[in-house]
Amino acid sequence: MSRYRRAQGNTFFFTVVLEDRSSTLLVDQADRLRRIYRNVFERRPFETVAICILPDHLHAIWALPDGDVDFSLRWNLIKGGFSRGFEAGVPSISKLKKREKGIWQRRYWEHAIRDDADLERHVDYIHFNPVKHGLAARVRDWPLSSFHRYVEQGALPVDWGGDIRDITGQFGE
C-alpha cells in the first residue's frame, strides 16, 4: 500500500508541453530547468508533491501555500526563465506580440486535486509516465522523476510499477 501525503485545497496537477513535440530539450537541458524551477520556488514558494521531466513535456503536482492559487505566475516565470537565452524559431505575429519564442506551448493543463484518491492516481500517473512513453522499462530507470524521493521516504517500493519487459502477449488495437 502506498503512503502518500494528504490532498489539500491548493493542490494542482499540471502538464506543461514544448511547442515541438519531437524535441528532447527538457531532458537535454534538465539542469537548466531545475535551476530555473528552484529560483522560482525561492521567490514564490510551493511544494512539489510529484514531478517527472520527459523529453518534450513535464508533469507536476504542486501544493501551494494557504490562500495562494497563483500557479499561472509561477509557470510563467519558469517557462520564461527557461526560454531566455535560447534562439527563437520563426515566431508567428501572435507570438511576437506576446514576446514568446515558441519554445513552449502557450497553454498548459491544470487540474485541481479533489481528494486523497485523486492525488494518488495523479502521483502514480506521473511516476509511470516514462514507461508509458517507452522511455524506460521500469519506473525506477527514469532519473528525472520524484519517484526516487518516494522510494527514499519509504512511500513506494523500488520495484513499484513492475518491469514492462516481463509482460508478454498481444494486447490492444
Q: Please write the tens of the pLDDT for every residue from 24-71.
A: 999 999 999 999 999 999 999 999 999 999 999 999 999 999 989 999
Set out the domains of the chain in order of their start, with CATH numbers.
Answer: 11-166 (3.30.70.1290)
What integer pLDDT is reported at residue 132 of this predicted model? 95
DSSP state of 37: H
Which of the pair, 98 or 78, is modelled with greater confidence? Answer: 78
Which of the pair, 116 or 99, is modelled with greater confidence? Answer: 116
Weakest-pLDDT range from 84-93, 104-113, 122-131: 84-93
In this prediction, residues 148-152 reach a mean pLDDT of 98
Cα separation, 131 vs 166, whole angstroms: 13
In this prediction, residues 120-147 reach a mean pLDDT of 97
Cα separation, 66 vs 62, whole angstroms: 12
What integer pLDDT is reported at residue 1 of this predicted model? 41
Q: Give me the percent of the chain exceeding a pLDDT of 90.
A: 75
Burial of 169 (0-12, 13-18, 19+ CB in 10 A): exposed
Residue 138 one-letter amino acid: R
Alpha carbons within 13 A on the beta-carbon side of 87? 2
The answer to whether the CB of 133 falls within 8 A of the CB of 145 is no
Q: DSSP letters along 7-31, please?
A: P-TTEEEEEEEBSSTT--HHHHTHH
**3-state SS, one letter per residue, for 64-110:** CCCCCCCHHHHHHHHHHHHHCCCCCCCCCHHHHHCCCCCCECCCCEE
